[in-house]
Amino acid sequence: MKQTRLMSLVESVANVIVGYGVAVVTQILIFPIFGLHTTLAQNLKMGAIFTILCRARHNTVYAERRIMRSRPGVGVASI
């Protein structure tokens, strides 16, 4: 079954929200182990930065994949 554009958007937004939450919770749990003490506001800001960087990386990989697939015979295994 093919996913609709709307559901693809919903999935993407949910993925970003979950990733942001995981980043913030991870920071809150891990930073003190390394002696880093941050406020909730600082964790939220760092989580936002990490999320933006992650999305930028994802978009770069997606663009590279599209470029490679648009070139005949490049990046595709021949059978």
CA pair distance 73, 62, nearest whole angstrom: 18
- Phi-psi label, residue 78: left if phi above 0, alpha if psi -120 to 50, beta otherwise: beta
In this structure, what token pair is assigned to residue 17?
């929200």
The three-class DSSP label of residue 59 is helix
The pLDDT of residue 74 is: 61
Residues 19-68: tens digit of each pLDDT = 899 999 999 999 999 999 999 999 999 999 999 998 888 888 878 887 88
Q: What DSSP character marks residue 74?
A: S
